[in-house]
A and B are shown apart, each in its own frame.
Chain A
């Protein structure tokens, strides 16, 4: 398993001190959050994935409502919502009077702008924590682990240069290459076809000009976190892929990607990714919880 220190030490050597400090802090923080989520997921292991997603949707909704309640002008939101309702009814009640209808419509647009403006402060406050939650959930719900005995691809994207450098792939004993590496020069990409003998979490290593970079692979395991990519890091990338540290800046490798199969949920007649049910469930939970939590949204 990749350690957090590996990438960060190298990153910090290439970047201004302050930025590397931020990245260090961020890596530690994300690592902490990652462990916290691991703990949550371990506790909820007996539950089906959709139930776990529902629990997170409810928690997200409750957390967001509390933030909305404390960071927005609740009285103003209530007033603006009433005004929106009044304008909608005005259009219906006085539909015989075009002047009233037009005026109501203009009033409605004004009220809607006010409503969105009122929603902006909580949106600003919620952005960072929700991105953190999203990053975690994406790592855990976006992909399924690869299956033992089935091929999967490992791709490395390399930085600009005249020719593709020699990159060696060092595999643990339970993983083996099923085809020679494919080098796509125009794309500056090298692909390997790999198979796993058994389930587990493994680290494969790319060796390039004496530099060794690892990438975690989850095979048929019930590990909660599956990060498909490891990329050259910045703050946003770290938030989005929190379970592995970013690749060092200035290195030749820009990204290592494992082609995991997508994880789909059965929702009635549909098979959908995690984001749609999560968004719908948070909205439903928020609507149900807004009264008990006294939050106007």
Chain B
């Protein structure tokens, strides 16, 4: 059984500028021990989507279902959700400095979180905090536990956040751009650590990122989001070598050195849509190379285009991957269907 099952999730916010439709019908599953990568650019809805699951979107209109271990997170009473959040679903945020309280020592913050969920003494919680800091590779943990967040470097702070996330041995960790604020070599350390912990404890991991390189390093399954919807979902291999959706393909062709591409950058023209006025039909159609008449009125749903590979695009399912041949076939197909 899936650990997390999200079905037809819709999230919108009322703002002064109008109704922001941040998430527009997202469904996905996370299996126990699996790592799911969610990729998308700013405003694609990837963060809102996961924050909704743990009740961090006050004031939003939320529709849909999100079953965690059989219980719907979206209809839980606040007390029930508090028992799940932190203990069974932990979150690691992008910016470790603003997620830690600057006026409390890190050890105190970890211990407090343990005591909030478990009936243990302060001393036991503190011992556990030292253990956790050692586990995530903070040198001289016994000494560092009484330091304040500002006394740690960016990479070390992110380790503290990971220690805190692991404190109650959660079944699911949601990591929202955990390495974006970090330098390359530190990013490598943190990804290494996440992989090691996942293998050791069998924790499921949802990794949200804009960096397709990070996803290549950790994910088993990848969701690509655009305009508040999932446009493609596949195992890590098909996403990189046989993308179907023109957005996924465009994203890869925008990255220097991505697999399968020719080496020349082919940027996606235009900009991501405003979530207040999302384009009719397929949200990607104003930027798409293969737009057909149908794309402007009819929104495609995810449908299978290969084993474990689904795409929300009207192009024929057999046209996967890169290369001049496929490219010509896509253009031809678009013209044919469009006529």
Q: Do A and B come from one complex?
A: no
Binding site for A on B (CB under 8 A): none
A residues contacting B by CB (< 8 A) are: none
